[in-house]
Amino acid sequence: MARKKFIAIAGNIGAGKTELTSFLCRKYGLTPSFEPNDQNPYLADFYKDMKTWAFRSQLFFLTHKFRLHRELERTPGTVLQDRTLYEDAEIFAKNLHRQRLIDKRDWSTYWELYQTISQSLRPPDLMIYLRCPVVTLKERIRLRGRAMEKDIPTAYLKRLNALYEEWFGGYSLSPVLVLGTDKLDYLTDLVDRVDLFRQIEKHL
């Protein structure tokens, strides 16, 4: 790794972002940055009543991720981020607006703030997109047993998956590496692991 890089991992809930972030950081000695779900004071309420808490929850994520992104820019060495500010806006907040859980006025305020913030940020040197079907997402969510996630509707996950495909269809900020995590077994399958390393090392 000749210079500091900023690598991001994107994907739906349960796609395997945290596991892959930890694995790659151990392998290459990178600095991890994990999704701050446990720091969002609105998240548990949001999953119970999305309409009431959607805007406040997304505003927290946006401002928190902006501050985190700035910190990562100052961090020495290559960093690997588990979910970026871009996803918060382009996927999660946009989905809530389309479902009328964030009204037009709040959405206009949010989107203007996002556009202003995102234009001031250094984009990733590589975006890794973890593509995963909903049936696999549901099973992983069930197995990890987070109380706030247990009632996430299947339709919600489907809409998020569709938005990920839509977003990456027009994404141009950086190179993109797409990994199908429903079949990829880099933990126990040597062939998958070597192939993963080969693809990652092209960008390090």
**Cα(21)–Cα(65) distance, integer angstroms:** 17
Residue 144 assigned to a binding site: yes
Sign of CA dihedral 131, 134, 136, 139: positive
Q: In what order do the strands lie in the sheet with 31-33?
A: 31-33, 79-82, 6-11, 126-131, 176-180
Residue 122 assigned to a binding site: no
Residue 35 assigned to a binding site: yes
Residue 99 assigned to a binding site: no
Residue 58 assigned to a binding site: yes
* Amino acid (1-letter code) at residue 190: L
**Cα(63)–Cα(156) distance, integer angstroms:** 24
Residue 83 assigned to a binding site: yes
* Amino acid (1-letter code) at residue 12: N
Sign of CA dihedral 144, 147, 148, 151: positive
82 is an active site residue: yes
Residue 38 assigned to a binding site: no
Residue 74 assigned to a binding site: no
The two structure tokens encoding residue 112: 């203007």
Annotated catalytic residue within 38, 45, 49, 82 = 82
Give the max Cα distance, the chain.
51
**Where is 10: in which H helix or E strand?**
strand 6-11
Q: Cite the active site residues.
A: 82
Q: Which residues are annotated as a binding site?
A: 35, 47, 58, 83, 88, 140-144, 149
Q: Which residues are annotated as a binding site for ATP?
A: 140-144
